[in-house]
Chains A and B, each alone.
Chain A
Amino acid sequence: MPLLTLRNVTKSYKAPDGSRLTVLDIPSFDLETEAQVALRGASGSGKTSLLHAIAGIIPVDAGEIVIDETSLHSLSESERDRLRAEKLGFVFQTFNLLPGFTAKENVELGMLFGKGVDPDWAEHLLSRVGLADRMGYRPSQLSIGQQQRIAVARALANRPKLVLADEPTGNLDHRRAHEALSLMREICTEANAALLLVSHDRSILSEFEVGHDLADLNRALKDDENGGER
């Protein structure tokens, strides 16, 4: 049984002119346990919507998303929150660290709503990403690369089964992006977490054994010749 299964998932938004704009129409997608998969898509191809749908942050119009044998459709909102807190980790393009909290606290926030705060694990993760001596620093006191590493550590904080990464290296130069990606993949492997990464950067795909073009999975892109913003 795959860790993540998508079947006939569709998602549309209301356009300003009142019509419906479909951004996701994915007949089938599977992700195996501990697998690491990259999806490439142009800007507006529904990458973020896809990850938010998988995370249960936005509801889908139709179809089924199953994570670790649990169908999101069958869960209430607070149960989806719980599932997200316990089984998923998130790395955002802008990292979305909370500015008022230290590096360690940001990582601990990733545990707070799940299985509980484990300061030792937070320290281990920060040491693992090379920030052992920066645990008490706030994000504004750290470089972009260091902030990105905190975000990676936070995504692993609750020992998730699946890490969702949305353009995680979008703010880094090529060399740092490569290093960050390698680190993220290593840590996911160590933590036995699967990784689903979306990016507009074609070179990212070459770093993964398994990579797909989102256009091959998402029929909404094929139907919409003009692409459009999503």
Chain B
Amino acid sequence: MSRKIGRRTIILRSLRQHALSTAITVIAVGLAVGLTISVFSIRQQTYNAFTGGQTGFDAILGARGAPLQLVLNAVFHLETSPGNIPWSMYQQMKSDPRVELAVPYAVGDNYYGYRLVGTTTELFTEFEYREGQKLTPAAGGRLFDPNRMEAVLGHYAAEKTGLTVGSTFSPFHGLYFDPGTEHQEVYTVVGILEPTNSPTDRIFLIPIEGVFRMEGHVLRGSGEVFVPESGNEIPDEHKEVSAVMLKFGSPQTGFMFDQLINKQGKVATLAWPIGAIMADLFDKIGWMNSVLALVAYLVIIVAAGTIMASLYNTMNERRREFAILRALGARRRTVFQVIVLEATSIAAIGTLVGLGIYLMILSVAAAIIREQTGVVLDLMAYDASLVWVPALMVILGAVTGVVPAIKAYRTAVGENLVAGA
């Protein structure tokens, strides 16, 4: 037998009786809630991921140009490189006691769109991409030998290309994949990094010497074109790097280098602090966020209107039901409460559906962002919109129930009992 009847039963039966309009309304509310939370949460998570200083470095030294391009190129492995700087600038930084760590990057090749970054083994031995966490090859792998054509792959890049330890591959020229530009050199995969949930997951790391010597590459570190010859050592003055990743001992060092390189110098650019440069980018596209937020608010209002319309439309057919309940002794305010609670229930169920939709949208967005940037969003991360959007929707749902509730409240009992006869 069924459970003891109550107001909840009246509401549930009504929702079931109008299952189609209930389902449509719940979906509309769910989409509104899901989209709105997605807009706010993904925006915030993306902002945090790109500006949160999770790169492990404080600054990037690169060719004269826009700091943002340097950051996008060297940290997120997007965009083209603004150019190269001489090896001597790297050496200068490396020998400066105020610099805790200086790691050179040389780029210029890819493997099916996944970039090859030439660097030194210090990236594995000294660099911490998060506090206490170093880039470590997974079991069965090792670091590359700086003097051999070996590669260590980011976890995601290995997963997507299907390369494993022992696999060999030939890089393609350029930062973007072009099938006609395959190099002759054959590299062997010697390690695959443990996942880092950072852009490093989607790159191939090779010895920087390998980039210098790649077929077709020329070096202009000294200002003149130099083509490395096999078996001969490359003089330092000819070497050049795309960027030098820097970690400073103190923030004052960053400020000082900023003055020295950006304000007084003319040959290089110091992108510092990295988080602030990315934040500046987000600020520039802030208007787009405002537009998205506005659209989200409108969607919420439309969803609330849908609740009202769907309930209001059922009021005519339900007048007899209310008249019967009143004849059985239900007070006007009971009927009013039932309608408001029904609207609130639709909003609440829709909100739960919306949280599911949000998780789906977030999963897709996270996959796209990971694919494009290597940045991984935390699906379970807390965002204030996870609280205020559902709360707003449920409150709005209750408010929209008031208009049909007033109609139910005013139901003329006698007339509608007879009308049913």
Chain A contacts to B: CB under 8 angstroms: 48-49, 52, 55, 57-58, 77-78, 81-82, 84-86, 88, 90, 92-94, 96, 98-102, 104-105, 108-110, 112-114, 117, 119, 123, 135-136, 154, 158
Contacts and interface: CB of A to CB of B under 8 A. Distances in A.
A82 B323 CA distance: 15
B366 to A, nearest CB: 43
Contact of A136 (B2, B7, B324): B2
Contacts of A98: 13, 321, 324-325
B326 to A, nearest CB: 7
A114 B334 CA distance: 12
Nearest to B419: A94
Interface string B10-27: 100110110000000000
A136 B332 contact: no
Given A57-B417, A98-B324, A112-B330, 18 more contacts: A48-B418, A49-B414, A57-B327, A81-B326, A81-B331, A82-B329, A90-B327, A94-B421, A96-B320, A98-B321, A99-B17, A100-B13, A100-B14, A100-B16, A101-B9, A101-B13, A110-B328, A123-B1
B421 A112 contact: no
B380 interface: no
A201 B325 CA distance: 28
Contacts of A55: 327
A109 B2 contact: no
Contact of A52 (B16, B329, B414, B421): B414
Given A84-B329, A94-B421, A136 B17 contact: no
Interface of B: 1-2, 4-7, 9-10, 13-14, 16-17, 320-321, 323-334, 413-414, 417-418, 420-421
Contacts of A90: 327-328
B331 A78 contact: yes
A-B pairs, 4 with minimum CB distance: A85-B329, A113-B329, A100-B13, A108-B5
Given A52-B414, A100-B13, A105-B9, A117 B328 contact: no
12 contacts: A48-B414, A57-B413, A57-B417, A58-B413, A78-B333, A84-B327, A98-B13, A109-B10, A112-B6, A113-B325, A114-B329, A158-B329
Contacts of B332: 77-78, 81
A119 B5 CA distance: 9
A81 B330 contact: yes
B414 A57 contact: yes
Contacts of B326: 57, 81
Given A52-B414, A57-B414, A99-B17, A112 B328 contact: yes
Contacts of A101: 5, 9, 13
A52 B324 CA distance: 12
Contacts of B328: 84-85, 90, 109-110, 112-113, 154
Nearest to B321: A98
A112 B5 contact: yes
Contact of B2 (A52, A85, A104, A113): A104
Contacts, number: 98
Contacts of A77: 331-332
Q: Which of A52, A98, A119 lies at the interface centre, i.e. has the most chain B CB atoms within 10 A of its CB? A: A98
Nearest to A81: B331
A171 to B, nearest CB: 10
Contacts of B417: 52, 57, 92, 96
Contacts of B2: 102, 104-105, 136
A98 B421 CA distance: 14
B327 A108 contact: no
Contacts of A110: 328
Contacts of A81: 326, 329-332
A210 B88 CA distance: 119
Contacts of A102: 2
A77 B333 CA distance: 11
Contacts of A78: 331-333
Contact of A96 (B13, B14, B420): B420
Contacts of A99: 17
Contacts of B14: 100
A114 B323 CA distance: 16
Contacts of A105: 2, 5, 9, 13
A136 B327 contact: no
Contacts of B325: 98, 109, 113
A204 B270 CA distance: 103
Contact of A113 (B4, B320, B330, B418): B330
A214 B185 CA distance: 111
A180 B334 CA distance: 32
A113 B421 contact: no
Contacts of A52: 413-414, 417
B331 A136 contact: no
Contacts of B420: 92, 94, 96
Given A48-B418, A117-B5, A100 B17 contact: yes
B162 to A, nearest CB: 57
Contact of B4 (A49, A96, A119, A135): A119
Nearest to A138: B13
A98 B328 CA distance: 12
Nearest to B14: A100
A70 to B, nearest CB: 14
Contacts of B413: 52, 57-58
Contacts of A158: 329
B19 to A, nearest CB: 11
Interface centre among A58, A81, A85, A86 (most CB of B within 10 A): A81
A78 to B, nearest CB: 5
Nearest to A112: B5
Contact of B421 (A49, A82, A93, A135): A93
A136 B326 CA distance: 24
